Amino acid sequence: MPTRLDTRASDFEHGFRQLLEAKRETSDDVNAAVAAIIADVRARGDDAVIAYTQRFDGLALNPETLRIPESEITRAASQVPPAEHAALERAADRIRLFHERQVPTDDRFVDETGAELGYRWTPVSAVGLYVPGGKAAYPSSVLMNAVPAQVAGVPRMAMVVPTPRGELNALVLAAARIAGVTEIYRIGGAQAVAALAFGTRTIPAVDKIVGPGNAYVAAAKRQVFGTVGIDMVAGPSEILVIADGANDPKWIAADLLSQAEHDETAQSILITDDERFANAVARAVEETLPRLKRVAIASASWRDFGAIIVVRTLAEGAALVDRLAPEHLEIATDDPDKLAALVRNAGAIFLGRMTPEAIGDYVAGPSHVLPTARAARYASGLSVLDFVKRTSLVRYDAGSLAALGPTAATLADAEGLGAHALSVRIRLGRGS
């Protein structure tokens, strides 16, 4: 049964802390296994990647078949029904429209001393896109990762996607083509992350790896960080719904289950100020579960990690949201902006009764790659800014160096860095 909490209960804080501290992320044995895989890929390159692909995906490959040829991408994409292909294109257009507004601009200015200062933005040279291919195929993840990179101007996008027993998902390949990705490898798991990070004879290394995956992928991204950049370590999906009693319980139940069906370790939480509504939603969840194709997964998620919290006021609930820092937050009230203004920590906020989180997974526009496991306290969702780098620009002339150089030299002396001080003073004619 899901956790039931009430802020009026004397033991609420204890129960809420248990909810916060419940572990759903990578275990130590996963970390050890991933470390061994990464070390093997670094040592043996293609041979290790091929061996693990055979072992985990039941797919026999060689260096020539690791990459999916463009002819195969074209053939698979052509098999997508026209309505589904049109839906992918419309989703890509929506994502592109949103992210084009995020492209940062360069700037330069001259200050009062005559020093010229500024910065410029340049795209990352090569990005690895990880696309899940295990319990479900996610062409939407291709678009949500690749389109922002495309908008940022990344010149090389290398995609990896597991193809168990050689089965290619036509929608995934069609989405890749729409987003401008043509370098695609039929591999997944920790071995794919390692190949992207360190490179093999067949797979050139990238500079940054983005995209969600299972516990092994998350652990691998954490372990290769520093060699390459990563977007984030994505954990199991989460949704938190703040709803008053004016909602249809069936709607809110569907919203909660929209994330529960992702994974057994996903988490769905309802916060409401109406106990009768809370009970109605709990009943609606139980009535809806048997209708889902992924009933076993959603049932396990709801049973083990679901929660219903009854609060005195929805404003009190907003304070709990900040402590939970959810990946997705729905505010299903007449005035959602009022509550949203009280929330600092959430990956994405869906405002109003007619804005289910599922719309954000596909066509809203912002990337659905969002911080999980309370990382919304300090992190943001994937955006154009993840695919660009800012470089500072500095130009001094004799006048500006005369104005500010002595201050720099004084600070260098204070830190005991004589060469620093000398490099300034020698230009001012005060050193030799």
Tell me if 300 sits within 8 A of 282, measured CB to CB: no
Q: How far apart are CA 356 and CA 327, in angstroms?
A: 14
Tell me if 142 sits within 8 A of 131, measured CB to CB: yes
- Quote the tokens at residue 123: 């795209």
Q: Could you tell me which residues come within 8 angstroms of residue 152 by beta carbon, excluding any fewer than 6 positions away?
A: 99, 103, 123, 124, 384, 387, 388
Question: Of the residues 183, 261, 264, 327, which is catalytic?
Answer: 327
Q: Could you tell me which residues come within 8 angstroms of residue 283 by beta carbon, excluding any fewer than 6 positions away?
A: 249
Active site residue 14: no
Active site residue 415: no
Strand partners, 129: 159, 210
Tell me if 183 sits within 8 A of 156, measured CB to CB: yes
- Quote the tokens at residue 159: 């995609």
Tell me if 350 sits within 8 A of 251, measured CB to CB: no
The vertex-378 CA angle with 376 and 380, nearest 5°, equals 60
| Helix, coil or strand: residue 288 | helix
Q: How far apart are CA 352 and CA 296, in angstroms?
A: 30
38-46 contacts, C-beta under 8 A, 24 or more apart: 38/190, 38/193, 38/194, 38/197, 38/198, 38/220, 38/223, 38/224, 41/191, 41/194, 41/195, 41/198, 41/200, 42/194, 42/198, 45/195, 45/199, 45/200, 45/201, 45/202, 46/200, 46/201, 46/202, 46/203
Nearest to residue 269, comparing CAs of 325, 214, 218, 313? 325
Question: Of the residues 328, 330, 357, 368, which is catalytic?
Answer: 328
- What residues act catalytically? 327-328
